[in-house]
Amino acid sequence: MMRRLFIAVDLSINVVERLVLFQDELRERLRSGYGDDLRVRWTHAENIHLTMKFLGDTSPELVSMLESTLQRLTEPLFPFEVECRGFGAFPEPARPRILWAGLDAKSAEVFGLLQQALERDLQELGVPADPREFLPHITLGRLKSRAAPNLAELQTPFESVSFGKSYIKDLVLYESHLRHDGPRYQVVSRFPLGTH
């Protein structure tokens, strides 16, 4: 049976708490600005993470190979600190579909390098590289309404707000279980950075 998998990093608890408070603030601003017609599916606190690679439906035979590859990749690396900073929307604030928190430039660069190494090693297993540019972000919510507001004005005051720093000490292989009340993510394996 196929398993819906992705590779991610977890954020520090204090950063997640700040992001949840920010979600509350966004919810209020959107409600006061656009009323209850605007539907957003907010990411639950326990699901807040940064996705490094979405694998999708994965055969059980591939899982152990994935685990060996991730083990080899993380062994020579060291834990590192990143700062969660800024707010935006994909594909753009004028046509928002996904609301996200970002990273400062240095953290984004580190994640970019890690993701390149990940793509390289996974391609050797036959996992295709993502054709889209990797833009590290934390999904805060998804707009479900057809008519999406222009959030350019809402974005401006939060473009450089800091949500704090996270100490990244492992990569996590997650399995996503889709349910009617939203997805539930279950840890398959953790791969500590720097176990050499």
pLDDT digits (tens, 9 = 90+) for 64-110: 999 999 999 999 999 999 999 999 999 988 889 999 999 999 999 99
Judge if pTM exceeds 0.95: no
Q: Is 180 a catalytic residue?
A: no
The angle that helices 105-123 and 60-74 make with each other, rounded to 10 degrees, is 130
Catalytic residue (choose from 49, 177, 180, 196): 49
Q: Is 137 a catalytic residue?
A: yes
The 10s digit of each residue's pLDDT in 27-67 is 998 888 887 778 899 999 999 999 999 999 999 989 999 99
Count of domains in the chain? 1
What is the span of the domain harbouring residue 60? 3-192
Cα–Cα distance for residue pair 137/82, rounded to 1 Å:
12
CATH value at residue 178: 3.90.1140.10
Catalytic residue (choose from 137, 177, 180, 196): 137
